[in-house]
Amino acid sequence: MATEKNNKNILDYIDNVELEMLKDDIEYTKKYLEEEGVNVVEEQDYADRYMKRIKFMAKAFTNKKQEESLLGKAIEIVKKSIQENAQKTTETLISMLQSKTPSFQYRKLEEWTDEEIRDVLRDVDLVKLMEELDKENS
Partner 1 sequence: MDYLAVPIYNADRLKKFTIVGNFFPVRSILYYMTMVKTKTIASDDLLMDQLQNRDWKQYWLRLMARCFWVLRKRYKVKWTNEKLSEFSRSVVEEVINKIFIEKDRNWNIERYPDFDEFIVGVIDSHINNKFNTKDIESSIGENDFILDNNTESEPSNEEAIITKELRKQIFDELQKAGAEDDELLIFECLADGILKPNIIKDEIGISDKDFHNAWRRFKRRREVIQLNLAANGY
Give least dist CB 75 to partner 1, A.
Answer: 22
Q: How many CB atoms sit inside 10 A of residue 89's CB?
A: 24
Total Cβ atoms within 10 A of residue 35: 8
Enumerate residues 18-37 that contact partner 1 by CB under 8 A.
18-33, 35-37
What is the rounded CA–CA span in Å between residue 79 and residue 89?
9
By C-beta, is 8 or 108 nearer to partner 1? 8
Q: State yes or no: residue 57 binds partner 1 (CB under 8 A).
A: yes
CB atoms within 10 A of CB 29: 14
Site string for partner 1, 107-126 (x = CB under 8 A): --------------------
Q: In 6-125, where does DSSP find H-type helix?
A: 10-24, 26-35, 40-100, 114-121
Q: Tell whether residue 70 is a contact of partner 1 (CB under 8 A).
A: no
Nearest residue to 123 via CA among 103, 91, 100: 100
Interface stretch with partner 1, choices 43-51, 81-89, 111-119, 128-136 (CB under 8 A): 43-51
Which of residues 21 and 94 has its CB atom nearest to partner 1 in the complex?
21
Indicate the SS3 state at residue 82.
helix
Q: Nearer Cβ to partner 1, position 8 or 107?
A: 8
Q: Which residues bind partner 1 (CB under 8 A)?
A: 1-4, 7-33, 35-38, 40, 43-44, 46-48, 50-51, 54-55, 57-59, 61-62, 65
